[in-house]
Amino acid sequence: MKKLSLFLAVVVVLSLVLSACQPAATTQAPAAKKKICQVTDTGGIDDKSFNATAWKGAEMAQKELGWEAKYLESKEVADYEKNINAFLEEKCDLIVTVGFLLGDATKALAEANPNAKFSIVDFSYDPPVANVVGQVFATDEAAFLAGYLAAGMTKTGKVGTFGGLSIPTVTIFMDGFTRGVKYYNQLKGTNVEVLGYDLNDPNKGLFTNSFDDQTKGKEFGITLMDEGADIIMPVAGPVGLGTAAAVKERGNALIIGVDSDWYLTAPDYADITLTSVMKFMDVTTFNVAKSVEDGTFKGGTNVVGTLANGGVGLAPYHNLDSKVPAELKSEIEQLKKDIIDGKIKLADIK
């Protein structure tokens, strides 16, 4: 008891002493740096998915353009408007919002504040909003390459995929992947099967209905492997890590990562990660900041990340590089060129 009183007394005395020293450090008027300000959705800033990737882009702007990067995390829907308002008050030069959940709040506040500049990640408006740059991704182009690769690598003749929810930003991965497999079949006369997705009816695919339940990822992985799939692409954010764990346990299958290069972001599974279908939301976010810096920011437009502009891409094979036949590698390089040149149209492959 006495000790506690003593402790409290010390705290009080210290606070008096320290408050005397205080003014020296507080008044540092920072030079007028430009500000990039990100509002996350309820996933939070380190969701290992689009919030985190977009934030990497904001940090790039901090490093390379000398901007100041700030973020506010949203805990609930009501926070979206509140957080964007806080950034409008901060007079941010670019407000970045992440994901379709922020679509309504971003639109409403962008329209109410026509002089502020906005960019929304992984979403676009139709019709466009005058001061918002949408960032969307032709993820199917990169997933197509992954599907082709998987079809060339499978030993069982079956590959698998599943999604978090049946929403366009998820199914576009599965769609491209499936078309890649079909294209391989057409060229080589093989009959590789895709489990977990149906081109004709996306809703019939496999979905975990969760973006955070890794146990489900594990279960789905086991089911797919039981059905004979030996390469699996989980499109459900961190849920896929559960799948990776299941694959690692069995030891006779491989996974394909999504969003970022899983060799780097999930190093535990480096040995079973064949490649990753990457969405460079950091690059697109940074580019929008750069356009504000050069004065070329053009609201009401969409930035589309494609293979051609490096907005989407296939990660290196890393540890499995030696396992991928050289011929298959060069075919994929050629495919990439053909897609960029428009020689191959994904929609034509059924």
Partner 1 sequence: MSKPENKPDVGKVFLEEVTRPPVNERVRGWQRVGRVLLVPALAVVTGLLLGAVLIILTSESVWEAFRVSLGSGLVTAWNTIVQAYTALFTGALGDPVRIVQAFQSGDALEIRRALNPIPESLVNATPYIFAGLAVALGFRSGLFNIGVEGQLFMGAAAATYVGYAVKGLPGFIHMPLAFLAGALGGAVWGFIPGWLKAKTGGHEVINTIMMNWIAFRLTEWLLGGPMTRPGSGGLPISPMIEKTAEIPQFFPAPIRFHLGFFIALGMAWLVHWLLFKTTWGFDLRTVGANPNAARYAGMNITRNIILAMTLSGALAGMAGANQILAVNRSMALGLSPGYGFDSIALALLGNSTPVGVILSSLLFGALRNGATRMELLRIPNDIVSIIQALILVFVAAPAIIRTIYRVKVPKEAEEAVFVGSWGGGNK
Residue written as token pair 């000398």? 66
Is beta strand 273-279 parallel, antiparallel or unpaired with respect to 312-314? antiparallel
Which of 209/319 has CB closer to partner 1? 209
Q: Which of 56, 85, 128, 228 binds partner 1 (CB under 8 A)?
A: 85
Q: Which of 12, 14, 130, 264 binds partner 1 (CB under 8 A)?
A: 14
Interaction between residue 213 and partner 1 (CB under 8 A): no
Interaction between residue 89 and partner 1 (CB under 8 A): yes
Closest CA to 146 of 18, 257, 26, 294: 257
Give least dist CB 146 to partner 1, A: 22
Give least dist CB 101 to partner 1, A: 5
CA triplet 230, 233, 236: central angle to 5 degrees?
140
| 195, β-bridge pairs | 160
From 70-78, 141-149, 290-298, 307-315, give the range in contact with partner 1 by CB under 8 A.
70-78
β-sheet with 94-98: strand ranges across: 68-72, 35-39, 94-98, 118-121, 132-137, 302-305
From 137-145, 165-173, 231-239, 298-306, give the range in contact with partner 1 by CB under 8 A.
165-173
Distance between CA 268 and CA 298 in Å, rounded? 41
Interaction between residue 111 and partner 1 (CB under 8 A): no
127 preceded by a cis bond (ω within 30 of 0): yes
Which of 70/329 has CB closer to partner 1? 70
| CB-based contacts of 64, cutoff 8 Å, min separation 6 | 286
Q: Which of 18, 29, 31, 32 binds partner 1 (CB under 8 A)?
A: 18
Interaction between residue 72 and partner 1 (CB under 8 A): yes
> Please, what sign has the CA dihedral across residues 240, 241, 247, 250?
negative
Give least dist CB 89 to partner 1, A: 5
Judged by CB under 8 A, the chain residues 256 through 315 that form the site for partner 1 are: none
Interaction between residue 77 and partner 1 (CB under 8 A): yes
From 16-24, 180-188, 321-329, 337-345, give the range in contact with partner 1 by CB under 8 A.
16-24
Interaction between residue 125 and partner 1 (CB under 8 A): no
Q: Which of 34, 56, 101, 248 binds partner 1 (CB under 8 A)?
A: 101
Give least dist CB 244 to partner 1, A: 25
Which ranges in the chain belong to alpha helices (H)?
A: 2-21, 23-26, 50-64, 78-89, 103-112, 139-153, 168-188, 214-226, 239-250, 262-265, 281-294, 326-340
Closest CA to 302 of 136, 91, 66: 136
Q: Which two tokens stand for residue 196?
A: 């977990």
Binding site for partner 1 (CB under 8 A): 1, 4, 11, 14-15, 18-19, 21-22, 24-26, 41-42, 70, 72-79, 81-83, 85-86, 88-90, 100-101, 103-104, 112, 165-168, 203, 209
